[in-house]
Amino acid sequence: MSIILTDDQKDIISLAKKFAENEVAPYSQEMDEQAKFRPGLIQQMADLGFMGINVPEEYGGVGMDSVTKALVIAEIAKYDASLAEVLSVHTLSNDIILKRGNEEQKRKYLPKACTGAVGAFALTEPNAGSDAASAKTKAIADGDDYVINGTKCFISNMGPDEGDYVILIALTEPEKKTKGMSAIIVDRGTPGFTIGKTENKMGLRAAPVSELIFDDCRVPKTQRLGDEGRGFMIAMAGLDGGRIGMGAQAVGLAQAAIKASVEYTTQRVQFGKPINANQGIQWYIADMATTTEAALQLVVNAARLYDMPGCRVSKEAAEAKYFASENAVKVCNKALQLHGGYGYMKDYPIERMYRDARIIPLYEGTSEIQKIVISRSVLSEFK
Ligand code: COS
């Protein structure tokens, strides 16, 4: 590992490796095929402290820093990118509650988030993807409650049986647009809140992604995080952290694809020698390793900055997510090529990695959105 780490950081990362290698990897293909995690797997992650990795000990968590969180996500992604996605989205919701919640909300949600309840975050709508500011879901004040109406789509961590609460971004004062959005926690089972279609996906198949339908769903105002009208800012700042997690997932996938490529090209003999005795193959491996190392360093740098009080990391998080996700797609594609026809078969995990990687430049902001965030920052820096 090319990152200098403390013993505590090394310990939890090696625990993640052991867990993913022994408890997850043997079932990853089956979970991919069945589009479902094994029962109890998320509970196991909670029991080992991963679901509360970014939650302080006083709320029941492990209280680790963002670099450790990112490296644990990367470690799990090496064996099962679906499970890494669950952890990334869940810890994003932990982070929003920690940063924006009042004491009562933190005491209500964080201890259960650490012990197995799964959190989600809902911003996207059918007609508001990249243009998140055009979201239409409304949460209109009525006495001490909000009455929520609208539909969110592509929401990770929510499925027919999965997901315990969601941080919903909705318009509390629709005429004010982004300045009229608020962040509200809605519990699964609240009357008027139902899970709609669960998506049948190309990759990350075990991780649930669903439509959320709100039909006169009544939620007390005490469920709102922060002040009214701060929801869009809370969502954007939350996504800065989320994008570091997705960058970490991309790094883990790329590292796993490199390892698989080295193993395969060592044992695959053609023309009388292992195929990686050819310089052409060695150069592919060198390129894959170099760009993946660059991706790792971008992710770790953004994670470090994220923990600095008062530091806005939109640009660094976008750079990390943009570079790492595009790299994961390229590296998995190259790794599949190195596997030849076998790489196309489900007998080799590279087939799943290739499919899993493809979503990363799309979710939590497409690569094009990351470039908007980066260029806005660079343009304003030199103005
Ligand atoms: N942290 C804190 N505040 C932020 C912020 C951030 N990272 N990003 C934006 N804001 C604030 C801005 O400062 C602005 O506030 P003021 O009006 O007070 O200045 C406000 O939010 C609106 O920001 P902006 O004008 O940049 O909004 P845009 O509509 O231009 O949208 C993009 C910006 C395109 C970057 C945003 O819509 C985006 O990230 N889209 C992708 C959404 C996404 O990632 N979805 C993934 C699914 S999550 S379920």
User: pLDDT for 17-27, tens place per residue?
Assistant: 999 999 999 99
Distance 35 CA to ligand 1 centre (A): 32
Q: Rounded CA gap, 63 and 13, in Å?
A: 14
Q: How far is residue 89's CA from residue 84's CA, in Å, rounded to a whole number?
A: 9
Task: Let me know: does 367 contact 358? Beta carbons within 8 Å.
Answer: no
- pLDDT tens across 244-277, in order? 999 999 999 999 999 999 999 999 999 999 999 9
Q: What is the largest CA-CA distance in the chain?
A: 79
Compute the distance from residue 236 Cα to the ligand 1 centre, in Å: 5
CB-based contact 316:305 (threshold 8 Å): yes
Type of residue found at 101: G
Cβ–ligand 1 distance for 372 under 6 Å, the answer: yes
How much is the mean pLDDT over the chain?
A: 98
Residue closest via CA to ligand 1's atom 46 equals 364
What is the 232 CA–ligand 1 centroid distance (Å)? 7
Task: Flag whether pLDDT at 196 surpasses 90.
Answer: yes
Q: What is the mean pLDDT of residues 274-291?
A: 98
Probe ligand 1: pick from 88, 182, 211, 233, max atoms within 8 Å of CB?
Answer: 233
Confidence of residue 383 (pLDDT cuts 50, 70, 90): confident
Report the phi/psi class of residue 274: left, alpha or beta, with left for phi > 0 and alpha for psi in -120 to 50.
Answer: beta
Q: Is the Cβ atom of 233 under 6 angstroms away from ligand 1? A: yes
User: What string of H, E and C letters represents the secondary structure of the chain?
Assistant: CCCCCCHHHHHHHHHHHHHHHHHHHHHHHHHHHHCCCCCCHHHHHHHCCHHHCCCCHHHCCCCCCHHHHHHHHHHHHHHCHHHHHHHHHHHHHHHHHHHHCCHHHHHHHHHHHHCCCCEEEECCECCECCCHHHCCCEEEEECCEEEEEEEEEEEECCCCCCCCEEEEEEECCHHHHHHHEEEEEEECCCCCEEEEEECCCCCCCCCCEEEEEEEEEEEEHHHEECCCCCHHHHHHHHHHHHHHHHHHHHHHHHHHHHHHHHHHHHHCEECCEEHHHCHHHHHHHHHHHHHHHHHHHHHHHHHHHHCCCCCCCHHHHHHHHHHHHHHHHHHHHHHHHHCHHHHHCCCCCHHHHHHHHCCCCCCCCCHHHHHHHHHHHHHHHCC
Q: Is the pLDDT of residue 178 over 90?
A: yes
Q: What is the mean pLDDT of residues 280-304?
A: 98
Would the CB of 317 count as within 6 Å of ligand 1? Answer: no
Q: Which residues pair with 185 in a beta bridge?
A: 167
pLDDT tens per residue across span 222-246:
999 999 999 999 999 999 999 999 9
Q: What distance in angstroms lies between residue 233's CA and the mean position of ligand 1's atoms?
A: 7
Identify the band that residue 380 occupies on the pLDDT scale cut at 50, 70 and 90. very high
Looking only at the bridges linking them, the beta strands covering 181-187 and 165-171 are: antiparallel
Distance between CA atoms of 91 and 98, rounded to whole angstroms?
Answer: 10
Whole-model pTM: value is: 0.97
Statement: residue 2 has pLDDT above 90: no
pLDDT in tens, 327-372: 999 999 999 999 999 999 999 999 999 999 999 999 999 999 999 9
Binding site membership of 314 for ligand 1 (Cβ less than 6 Å): yes
Cα(305) to centroid of ligand 1, in Å? 19
Q: Give 373 Cα–ligand 1 centroid separation in angstroms.
A: 9
What would the pLDDT profile of 27-49 be if each residue is shown by its tens digit? 999 999 999 999 999 999 999 99
Ligand 1 near 125 CB (within 6 A):
no
* 178 CB within 6 A, ligand 1: yes
Residues 240 and 153: their CA atoms lie apart, in Å, by 20
Instruction: Enumerate the active-site residues.
Output: 364
Take residue 352 and report the two structure tokens written for it: 């799943």
pLDDT at position 61 is 98
For the segment 59-109, what is each residue's pLDDT rounded down to a tens digit?
999 999 999 999 999 999 999 999 999 999 999 999 999 999 999 999 999
Tally the C-alpha atoms within 13 A of residue 296's C-alpha that lie toward its C-beta. 21
Identify the pLDDT of residue 317. 98
What are the pLDDT digits (tens) for 117-158?
A: 999 999 999 999 999 999 999 999 999 999 999 999 999 999
Cβ of 362 below 6 Å from ligand 1? no
Is pLDDT of 286 > 80? Answer: yes
Q: Report residue 180 as tokens.
A: 């009229």
The alpha carbon dihedral of 71, 75, 78, 82 has a sign of negative
| Position in ligand 1 atom list of the atom nearest CA 133 | 29
**Ligand 1 proximity of 239 Cβ (cutoff 6 Å):** yes
The pLDDT value recorded for residue 1 is: 65
